[in-house]
Chain A
Amino acid sequence: MAIIAEAIKWLLKHPVTIKYPFEREAPPKGFRGRPVWDMHRCIGCGLCSRICPSGAIEIIGRGQEAKIKHYVDRCLFCGQCSESCPRNAIKLMNDFEHARYNRDVMIYEYKRET
């Protein structure tokens, strides 16, 4: 019976859930979302691609010419790539809605623009 009083108390209050996707709550500071590359900083050393635990990063070429392919469908959002990058070229963003119907559109490409 102890729970009845609690139930009555909450009957007249607003629901605690929010109506996603119509309402959204911003993730807290320091949230680990999708990593993005700043290719002006990247020196194309390939360390991020070697350290990534899930093989989500592909590097094509080396040095300034290097192209980075990030397969977000494989990414764990662990942030190890951004931690290991010697040039601090990788930042984790705040976004978390990555699900798509097609894996082919879940690839992000980065290349240095001249």
Chain B
Amino acid sequence: MSYGSIVKVPFGPQHPALKEPEHFLFEIDGEIIVNVKPRIGYNHRGIEKAFERRTYIQNIYLAERICGICSDAHTTCYTQAIEDLLGLDAPPRARYIRVIVAELERIHSHSLWLGIAVHEIGFDTFFMYLWRDREAVMDILELISGNRVHYAMNTIGGVRRDITPEIIPKIIRSLDFLEKRTKYYMKALRSERTVLKRTVDVGVLKPKDAVELCAVGPTLRASGVKNDVRGDDPYAAYDEIPFNIVTDDGCDVFSRMLVRCGEILESINMIRYALDHMPSGMLRVRMPMAVKPGEAVSRVEAPRGELIHYVKSNGSTRPERYKVRSPTLANIPALCRMFIGQHVADIPIILAGIDPCFACMDRLVFIDVKTNKRKSLDFESFSEMVRKQRNFRLA
């Protein structure tokens, strides 16, 4: 039913869906969304600029802090880009360890997301159980790397720590536990009426739209499109480890839940295989002191989708330019399509459905409003500008 008049509802920057600020302007007819305009950029942190001020080694830890949830995906992508620039290859054991940590991270990220998704539909009991069981994977990550969140496992030319034989039985035990729990949760999701009512046919993204709008990761795979950097352009040891790319044809939020559950189960099998077949040998190769001038691009399948890093070197000890394209940015156009025709009450769960991480995504560009010209600034002219503005405001 149409109410005949369109009302504009601003959503955000502070909004009920997530803690991170972002703005969407919804045009609604009654309860139905007819149009949406996103406005991004509330969470810009200047990390790309900070890359230009630090050495290649220091930047590993900066790349890690782009995202607290996919910290390992960012360092893998960063180190791969630099290794490409240097013509280095990580030794085989290091590549297996990279896979193991990356898949553990995927398990933790997907269980975290599942918890948030059920929380968005008001099912907090489910959320508590999911997050309780997620501790098992956090403990393994802490055991392997020495930290729960920022693992600092990757370095240029390999990994920094080994997975020792003493901890392998502990990892296997936790994996068995996680497998059992994930299977249970998958069954529970399928039979729980509250979940089905709130997620089936909500936020539909047709396969054609998903491809056209360049969606990535589980969002794309839940629309039935088989696309995964791990399979299409294998990095680390993914070419040696058998796995299935999980897809689902439902195209809605419920399918996104099932795809992520399926990926957790796949990851568990991949880690088991990798632990069994891990070659022995060195953990890292030495990094040459000088970095040649040049450019490199690296791709990684982060838990949220395809992640791209670009580096340009001018032969000095610091990169000249660094660019990060995080998966959330790629999913924003698809997200806007999902909203059309949906109810206002479903905004939080649709928004959360792509597993957004706005802080990783936000970038900033300077536009002179008088001439409508874009410009980019180097660090010195940027600080100069800030200084001038400050004087101006004080005066």
List residues of chain A with CB under 8 Å of any chain B CB: 1-3, 6-7, 10, 16, 27-32, 51-54, 76-80, 83, 92
Number of interface residues, chain B, beta carbon within 8 A: 30
**Chain B residue at minimal CB-CB distance from A10:** B129
B58 pairs with A51, CB closer than 8 A: yes
Number of A-B residue pairs with CB-CB distance less than 8 Å in the complex they form? 63
A79 pairs with B58, CB closer than 8 A: no
List residues of chain B with CB under 8 Å of any chain A CB: 54-55, 57-62, 65, 125-126, 129, 132, 135, 139, 142-143, 145-147, 150, 152, 160-161, 184, 187-188, 191-193
Given contacts A28-B143, A30-B146, A53-B57, 5 further A-B contacts (CB under 8 A): A31-B147, A52-B58, A53-B61, A77-B147, A80-B57
10 contacts between A and B (CB under 8 A): A1-B193, A2-B192, A3-B192, A28-B146, A29-B143, A76-B65, A78-B150, A80-B57, A80-B58, A80-B61
Q: Which of A1, A27, A54 contacts B191 (CB 8 A)?
A: A1
| Residues of chain B with a CB closer than 8 A to A52's CB | 58
Report whether over half of chain B's contact residues are helix, strand or loop; otherwise say mixed. Answer: helix
| Residues of chain A with a CB closer than 8 A to B126's CB | 3
B142 pairs with A78, CB closer than 8 A: no
Q: Which of B62, B65, B152, B184 contacts A79 (CB 8 A)?
A: B152
Task: A54 to B65: give the CA distance in the assembly, Å.
Answer: 12
Task: A6 to B125: give the CA distance in the assembly, Å.
Answer: 10
- What is the distance, in angstroms, from A84's C-beta to the closest C-beta of chain B? 8
| Residues of chain B with a CB closer than 8 A to A28's CB | 139, 142-143, 146
Q: Which of B57, B65, B135, B143 contacts A30 (CB 8 A)?
A: B143
B57 pairs with A51, CB closer than 8 A: yes
- What is the distance, in angstroms, from A87's C-beta to the closest C-beta of chain B? 19
Q: Which of B135, B145, B191 contacts A2 (CB 8 A)?
A: B191
**Chain A residue at minimal CB-CB distance from B55:** A51
Q: Which of B57, B60, B129 contacts A6 (CB 8 A)?
A: B129
| Residues of chain B with a CB closer than 8 A to A1's CB | 191-193
B147 pairs with A32, CB closer than 8 A: yes
Knowing A32-B146, A51-B57, say if A78 contacts B161 (CB, 8 Å).
Answer: no
**Chain A residue at minimal CB-CB distance from B193:** A1
| Residues of chain B with a CB closer than 8 A to A6's CB | 129, 184, 188
B125 pairs with A7, CB closer than 8 A: yes
| Residues of chain A with a CB closer than 8 A to B54's CB | 53
